[in-house]
Each structure stands twice: as structure tokens, then as C-alpha cells.
Structure 1
Amino acid sequence: MTSYWQETMEQAVTVRRQLHADPEPSWEETRTAEKIRQILTAMDIAWRPCADTGTVAWLNRSGTKAPHIALRGDIDALSIHEQSGKDWCSRQTGYMHACGHDGHTATLLATARWLKHHEQRLPGPVTLLFQPAEEGGHGAKRMIEESALEGVDEIYGWHNWPALPFGKLVCPDELVMCGNGTFVITLTGVGGHASQPELCRDPVLAAAAVVMALQQIVARRLAPQQAVVVSVTSIEAPSQPTVIPQRAVLLGSIRVPNRTSRDRANQLIREISRQTAQSYGVDCEVEILPRYDATINHPTQAARVRNLWQEEFGTDGLDRQIPLPIMASEDFHYYLQEIPGAFALIGSDDGQDHAYPCHSPHYDFNDRLIPYVTRLFARLVGAPVPPSTKGDQYEHIR
């Protein structure tokens, strides 16, 4: 391992933990963007703002011997109160990097430093996308609208995945992550005294019935072969012990493999909710909020990621056991709808406190992934990488 490589990795871990301590939610990543841009400027890498808090950077812009490749890292945090207990725990009350976007950003910055050091040896142009608002904010869409993919031929991205053993990669030829959507169901009845329910039209009782009915969509109204999830995640009906309230609100989420399944699931949510509410004598309004489409890889690019990853981990580096598609969602699908590319999930559970799932208040990104993914990115763009050695050469990273 070269001293420059070692220094790059150590700096990346430091930056990652600094970002983790100072999280910012979607479309508010001003300090994060400033830090990214300062680091790029210090490395003499050209960049421009994009989508407000996003940043597009370039290397070897005049290269013509290979395709123009883009690499993406997301930068936003979540509205979750951190309970990890780490020394670099969030200093922003109510916000934390609970999905590892701090690690994705630090990895892309490490890649930027390594590629800049070898810029004259890059065969083609490289674009680096530091994207805001992945967590439901459609940041990728805004980046594309503001020409982030201009001239780019292929794009690659990744996500750490605590449900996979450390170093195991999932990058199928087609569907990798589902699309999603959310819904709000408002049930309005007639409130009154709990001792006289016959004079009321109870929205709480209707809400309970709607919840039970919606759970039968997947079991009885859609084919079991379809990768669909319908989850009611919240019931809001504030009242008092002796008061039947006027209104109840249900919140929920769906996960779907394609737009056809989404349309059918949404249709059933509307029909079942309204018909069930009617049977309880309450009014029902259903608001459907489509979010992300499914993330579907391009076969050639996905195969390239798998092959290059096996240069690092061997044939055992691919996970063939996790059920696909992953039911979580990603706005990386916007990029893949525009140009060829691939999105990978890479396992982070090394048996050392990195098994907490994404979006858990106890979650923390596994810094040991940074060197491996940086090496993958370097290979993808044709840059040299340090010679690999047997065993875990990054065991010192904790």
C-alpha cells in the first residue's frame, strides 16, 4: 500500500466522521456542500454547484480514449435522533446520517483524491456527482434537470447494506431495488361521548377496519409472484379516553417493482379504503403520493461491476442468497432511465457493531468499506489501484 493511498484513506475516514457529526436533511445540506467544495478546491479539481446544495466535479475532461463515466455519492441525512454512542455522534439534535450517505460522500471524495493523483493516466473523462436530497427529495431528478449528466456515457453508484455480510456485493442485471410511494387516508366521522357510540360515526373503528382490509391487498388481490408491499405505518386520532374523535388519519407506504404494479396497488388502496369507510358511515379521502420508480440496472454495466468486484474479493465476493429485489427504494433510478449504468449494494456487517439496519438510531457507517469501494471506482474508470494483498489490509480502520 502506497503512502499516498494510506493518507487518502485516513483523510477519508476523518472526513466521514466530521460529516457524520454535522448532518443536514434534504435540500438543507449547505455546510456539507461547503465542505465538499472546499476539499475539491484544495485538490485543484474543477466543480460547479448543481441543484442548490449539489456539486458536479470533473477530471480529465479532454480524455477521449474511453467512455465518459460518472460516479455518484449522496449527501443528505435523516430526521432521526441518533443513539449510536459513537465519539463522532451527531451534534445536530434530531438529525443523523442513519443511511450512510456520509460514508458515500467520503468515499467519493477519496476517489476524487486518488483519481486526481493519477489524472494523466485516466483513459476517459470522469464526472463526480455529490447529490443532495436522495431521501425522498428527488435530488437526482434535479441534478439531471441542471445538466449533471451532460456528456456522460455511463453512471455507477452504490449503497452500503448492513443486511449483507461485509464485502458481499449485489448488482443484478435488471431490477435491484423497488419503486415506492406513500399514501394518506383521512377518515372523517361524527365525534361524541364514548358512552353513546350509537350517536357517533367512529373514525377510529373505521380506521382499524381499513388497516386490516389493506393488508389483504398483497395476500388476496395481487399475485403472490409480484414483489409488492403495502404497509400502514401510522394511525393518528388524537382524543381523550371518554371522547370519540371526529377524524382519524392513516399514513402508509407501498413498494412495487414497476409502474403497472404501482397503478394497481394505488387503485386498490383507494377502492378498499373508501368502500370500507362507507360501511362504517364515515367519509374517506385518499391522497396518493408517488415517489420513486424501481431501480433497474443495465446488464453490461452490472456485469462489469460484478467482475471488477471479484478482482478484490474473488468469486466469494458476490452474494447469491439475499432475496431480490430489495424492497427499499433509491432515486438513482432517474440516472438509469437516462443513460446506461449500474447500482450496487455492498455488505457492511463485519460482526463488529455494523449490523444495525439503515434508518436505525443506532446505525453507523462501516469505514472499512471506503478503501474497497474507492478501489472499485478506480477500476471502473481505468485508474491504477495499489497492489492487492491477501487478507484484510484495512483491518486498522475502525
Structure 2
Amino acid sequence: MSGHQLESIYGIDEAKFIQIRRHLHQYPELSNEEFETTRSIRGWLEEADIRVLDYPLATGIIAEVGGLRPGPVIALRADIDALPIQEETDLDYASKIPGKMHACGHDFHTAALIGTAYALKARESELEGTVRLIFQPAEERAKGARQVIDSGALEGVQAIFGMHNKPDLAVGTVGIKSGPLMAAADGFHVEIEGKGSHAAVPEAGLDPIVTAAHVITALQSIVSRNVSALQSAVISVTQLHSGTAWNVIPDKAVLEGTVRTFDEQVRQQVLERFSQVVEGVTTAFGTSGSVRWIEGPPPVNNDESLAQLGNEVAAAAGLKAVVPVPSPAGEDFAVYQRDIPGLFIFMGTAGTQEWHHPAFTLDEAAIPISIRFFTELAERALKQLGAGGGEQP
């Protein structure tokens, strides 16, 4: 898929959207700080006379194409925020903002959705319904999807589609899978209260560090002994803070980390057992423990019929569709899927590093591929939803 093909099919040029992506890459903004990004997106949409809708969002933008013919409403979503990472690439268009970088490819997602908006606008009179375009803030903090829903921007939408770039897939390859694709991502903060003492007389106190060590070990048994071998879960303790001196047993130890699951029932089982383990171990050591959960997004869970539609579109576009390995990373697109059917796919970008790496890059040849894929996916989804009387395809 070349820019010339996009021009012949939709009357748009690939080069514009590559330049949009590079501009966004140079000026990254963190979650809920995407004010200039939002203004830029608005400007690019208005250049093509694309309707920008008025929803109460501080950052992010909602637009629409279509509606000239009766039919269903579907949504396409891209995330727009960056990460607090110092870029370490040698790109001519590397980030100009110290300590901030599009290290997860959201600039790619945004540029591709703007290109899709342009392509759909060129076919607006033929669209059998309406396509709502969601440029979502704050994905990296797992807050943006809820903000969009609370604004009312999902009302009336019958199906939603989105993507994430995938560095380990070749350009021209699309990862499409029904069912679980990305994990629920919950965080935890555990406080263990003991009794401090001199390190030379530990019997005079209740050591929270020893207790914490046993809690960490016991937590690993949840996955090995409570989760079926046909299911999966990850519990990772990533921080342990306690004490201020080499010869003092402290009063408190604090653990933090994350739990990743792909099934909602497994998720609830793991969270319940986690709290039970903390309570049981701390009690056994004469200390006390409390657990505070940092609720993340649920698992991305793709609708089977929408996944089939995605495979059909990939075949028609000459792309290679593969069933991807599910990712244990979290993605708040899943929040939309709690309300309506959705399909989230992986778009091959042949990157040199994984997501969130300071040297993260991607192949921009995937931009026109993404534009064509999502344009045709939107058109076919409208037809199928309309043919089904508004029911899910």
C-alpha cells in the first residue's frame, strides 16, 4: 500500500499523515496535558471540513464523518498521550520536549486515525451511517476511556474499533484475535505494620521486613496453586521500601507491584486470594497488613463476529492476518468493551524496540496500511450493522 494508492482510492496523500505523525512525535504531551495536541488535531480535522463535536473534555477531541444517509453509528479510537521518557533515538524528528516521548506509538495511532478521517470524508456521501472519531487522552494512566464515556461521547455507538502498533510484527501484518488480547492491569500497595526495635534485639519487636519477605514468597503461590494451568496470571512485586538505618528494625514495610490477568473471573479470584494471603501471613507473624488496590483497565476482550469482520477486511486489503500472542500489557480500550462490542487489533510496525523503550521506533510505511484498513473496516461495519437492523454483526 503506497501513498499513490491512497491518492487514487481516496484522493489523499500519504506524505501528509507521515508529517502529522512526525510533528506529534516532536511535541509529546503527557496524560491529561495534551492541550497543544488537541488543538493540532482540531486544526487538521477542520482543514478537511470534518465535523468536530462539542463534548466536555479538557483534552482529547471527538469528531464525526457521515450521517448523510441513515444507518448505525460506529466509533474509531486513537490514543494521543505520550510518556515521561527521555528519547534516545537519532531521528531527525526526535522529541523536542525533555523527558517526554511518544515511546508507545500513540503519535502513529493518531496520525493514522486522522488519515482515516480524511479517507472517510472523501466517501462521506456513500457511508451508510456515521463514524465517530475518538481521539482519546490519558490512555497511559488508564483514565481516558472513562473520561470519554462520562462525557457522553459513546452514546448511540454500536461498535468500536481501535489498534495498537506491534513492533514484533512485520509491516503488512495485522494481528486479529477474538476473545482476550490484552490483560487487566491492576496495581497494589501493601502496608505491613510491625514494631520497631534495635537490630541486635529483634525479639523485642515485630519485624515487618521478615514478614514482607514471607508475604512476597506466599503471593507467588496464588498463580501456581489457585489459577488453572489453562488460565494465566502474573503477580509481580516491584517495590519494597522499609527502614532508614542499618542497625534499626523499622515499624513498617511497604510493597507495591502489579497483577495481570486475562479473564475477569480469574482476576477477581486472584485479587481475593491476594488479600487473604496478606492478612494470613501478617497475622501469623504478629504484624498487621492492609491492601490498597489501584484498579486498572479490565482485559481487552474482542467480539468474535467483529474479529471475523476484521479478518475479511485484512484479506480484501491484501494484508497478512495472524492470530497474535496475547499481551500482558494493559489497555483502557477495554473499558469501552464493557459497554459495547469492540475489536482491538495489532498493526505490524517492524519496530526496533518494545513499547515504552527510550529507543522505540516504528516503520511509517504502516501508516497508509492502517488508513486503508480502518477505512474499509468502518465501511463494512456500517453495512453489516445496518443490514442486521442495528444489531451487532
Residue in 1 aligned with 2:365? 368
Structure 1 residues without counterparts, runs of 5 or longer: 384-398
Greater CA deviation, 144-153 or 285-294?
144-153
Structure 2 residues without counterparts, runs of 5 or longer: 381-393
**Residue in structure 2 matching 1:228, options 228, 233, 247:** 233
Residue in 2 aligned with 1:346? 347
Q: Within 1, Cα distance between the matches of 2:145 and 2:13? A: 27
Tell me the CA shift for residue 131 of structure 1: 0.8
Q: Deviations over 1:120-142 (max 9, x none)?
A: 33333221110111123331122
Q: Within 1, Cα distance between the matches of 2:97 and 2:278? A: 39
1:137 aligns with 2:142: yes
Tell me the CA shift for residue 73 of structure 1: 0.6
Residue in 2 aligned with 1:237? 242
1:1-398 to 2 correspondence within 5 Å? 1=4, 4=7, 8-50=13-55, 51-64=57-70, 66-237=71-242, 239-314=244-319, 317-320=320-323, 322-323=324-325, 325-349=326-350, 354-382=351-379
Q: Within 2, Cα distance between the matches of 1:175 and 1:331? A: 13
C-alpha change, 1:286 and 1:107, in structure 2 (3 Å) is same
Tell me the CA shift for residue 2 of structure 1: 5.2
C-alpha change, 1:208 and 1:6, in structure 2 (3 Å) is farther
Q: Deviations over 1:83-129 (max 9, x none)?
A: 23433222333322221111101111111222223323333322111
Give the number of aligned pairs: 374
Tell me the CA shift for residue 6 of structure 1: 8.8
Q: Within 2, Cα distance between the matches of 1:303 and 1:174? A: 12
Aligned with 1:35: secondary structure? helix
1:346 alignment partner AA: M
Tell me the CA shift for residue 174 of structure 1: 2.1
Confirm or deny: 8 A CA contact 2:64 2:132 kept in the other structure.
yes
- Runs (4+) off by over 6 Å: none
Q: Within 2, Cα distance between the matches of 1:75 and 1:97? A: 9
State percent identity of aligned pairs: 34
Question: RMSD of the alignment, in Å?
Answer: 2.3
Tell me the TM-score normalized by structure 1.
Answer: 0.87
1:373 alignment partner AA: S
Greater CA deviation, 4-13 or 167-176?
4-13
Greater CA deviation, 169-178 or 154-163?
169-178
C-alpha change, 1:167 and 1:191, in structure 2 (3 Å) is farther
Q: Within 2, Cα distance between the matches of 1:297 and 1:259? A: 14
2:333 alignment partner AA: F
Q: Deviations over 1:171-210 (max 9, x none)?
A: 2222222222111111122334433433333222222221
1:208 alignment partner AA: A
Greater CA deviation, 374-383 or 303-312?
374-383
Residue in 1 aligned with 2:387? none
Q: Within 2, Cα distance between the matches of 1:10 and 1:22? A: 19
C-alpha change, 1:245 and 1:80, in structure 2 (3 Å) is farther
2:339 alignment partner AA: E
Q: Within 2, Cα distance between the matches of 1:330 and 1:129? A: 15
Aligned with 1:382: secondary structure? helix
Confirm or deny: 8 A CA contact 1:26 1:132 kept in the other structure.
yes
Confirm or deny: 8 A CA contact 1:179 1:329 kept in the other structure.
yes
Q: Within 2, Cα distance between the matches of 1:363 and 1:2? A: 28
